[in-house]
């Protein structure tokens, strides 16, 4: 079994440090000339898999935008996960799950167990019921060579009162970073973090030894040139900026969508070099 940190490094070495978000929200479906229903979702998703699956190191479907269409939406999401993985991309399910005990174990099974049709290479998770509540997901991910990306300092301004709150002399967000770093002391890189690219985060990320998903490029205002300053002190080889709408607005033409992704990816690589 190859551990997740190694799988991640191999992928970004071959395909670059840009995560391709797949966010089929109603505005984009309409912009692409598609119906806002399960049929439009399926056409949108198939285009994204064809354009991005063969070139992105990591593809990040936003689960909520599939879930809104019920069972039909989850069926399309299953196709996205399978198609992108078959095309050589790692799939990071952006589900932001977080709960306790048997419920968290069930979420972990849904997203990280080979037997599940939703099984992905990694999943996002919220630690704000206590970092230890994520143990079922962390344990299952480690056993299967998969990853868990934990919310530390998100790109939305509303997160600050919680994530920057003082907890015995350290911000809560830094405690999340430190707990993830402790889990990664085994060298697996199982624990990643979510740290937005839209502002100074104030976290010490130097000892994480795992990937840092950084949403916010494009529609949320961050640019590749911002990344060296935002992530000064972090190992740039672990930084994984993400762009969703900034790339997807170039659809529905497959060639144009792929070209916009590769252009943005190359900007990111130059900025982080």
pLDDT in tens, 129-165: 999 999 999 999 999 999 999 999 887 778 777 777 7
Which pLDDT score is estimated for 160?
74
User: For residue 171, what are the β-bridge partners?
Assistant: 166
Q: Could you confirm whether 60 is annotated as catalytic?
A: no
Model confidence band, residue 202 (pLDDT cutoffs 50, 70, 90): confident
Q: Which residues of 196-224 are buried (b: 16+ CB within 10 A; e: fewer)?
A: bbbeebebebeebbbbbbbbbbbbbebbb
pTM of the model: 0.95
- DSSP letter at 71 equals H
The domains of the chain, with CATH numbers, are 4-272 (3.20.20.70)
* Calpha distance 193→221 (Å, rounded): 20
The per-residue pLDDT for 165 is: 78
Catalytic residue among 25, 85, 96, 175: 96
Which region among 34-43, 219-228, 251-260 has the lowest average model confidence (pLDDT)? 219-228
Residue 194 predicted with pLDDT over 80? yes
**What percent of the chain has pLDDT above 70?**
99
The set of residues, in sequence order, having a beta carbon less than 8 Å from that of 118 and lying 6+ positions away, is 74, 77, 78, 81, 93, 110, 111
Which helix (H) or strand (E) segment is 125 a member of? strand 122-125
State which H helix or E strand residue 171 sits in: strand 170-171
pLDDT, position 219: 67
Across the chain, mean pLDDT equals 94
Give pLDDT, residue 124.
Answer: 98
The residue among 164 and 61 whose pLDDT is bigger is 61
Q: 217-243, pLDDT tens digit by residue?
A: 876 778 899 899 989 989 999 999 999
Ramachandran bin of 210, using left for φ above 0, alpha for ψ from -120 to 50, beta for the remaining angles: beta
Give the integer Cα–Cα distance in Å for 34 and 108. 33
As a whole number of angstroms, the distance between CA 73 and CA 98 comes to 21
């Amino acid at each position: 079994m190859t551990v997740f940190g190694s799988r991640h490094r191999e992928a970004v070495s071959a395909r670059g440090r840009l995560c391709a978000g797949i966010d089929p929200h109603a505005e984009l479906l309409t912009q692409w000339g598609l119906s806002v229903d399960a049929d439009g979702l399926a056409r949108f998703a198939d285009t994204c898999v064809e354009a991005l699956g063969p070139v992105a190191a990591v593809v990040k479907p936003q689960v909520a935008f599939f879930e809104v269409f019920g069972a039909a939406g989850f069926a399309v999401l299953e196709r996205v996960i399978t198609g992108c993985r078959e095309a050589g991309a790692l799939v990071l399910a952006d589900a932001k799950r977080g709960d306790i005990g048997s419920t968290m174990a069930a979420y972990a099974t849904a997203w990280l167990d080979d037997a599940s049709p939703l099984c992905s290479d990694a999943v996002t998770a919220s630690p704000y019921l206590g970092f230890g509540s994520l143990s079922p997901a962390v344990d299952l991910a480690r056993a299967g060579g998969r990853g868990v990306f934990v919310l530390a300092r998100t790109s939305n301004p509303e997160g600050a009162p919680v994530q920057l709150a003082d907890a015995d002399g350290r911000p809560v967000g830094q405690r999340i970073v430190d707990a993830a770093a402790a889990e990664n002391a085994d060298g697996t890189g199982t624990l990643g973090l979510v740290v937005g690219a839209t502002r100074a985060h104030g976290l010490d990320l130097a000892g994480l030894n795992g990937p840092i998903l950084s949403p916010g490029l494009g529609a949320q205002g961050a640019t590749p040139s911002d990344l060296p300053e935002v992530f000064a002190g972090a190992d740039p080889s672990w930084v994984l900026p993400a762009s969703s709408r900034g790339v997807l607005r170039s659809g529905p033409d497959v060639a144009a969508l792929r070209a916009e992704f590769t252009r943005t990816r190359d900007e990111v690589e130059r900025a982080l070099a």
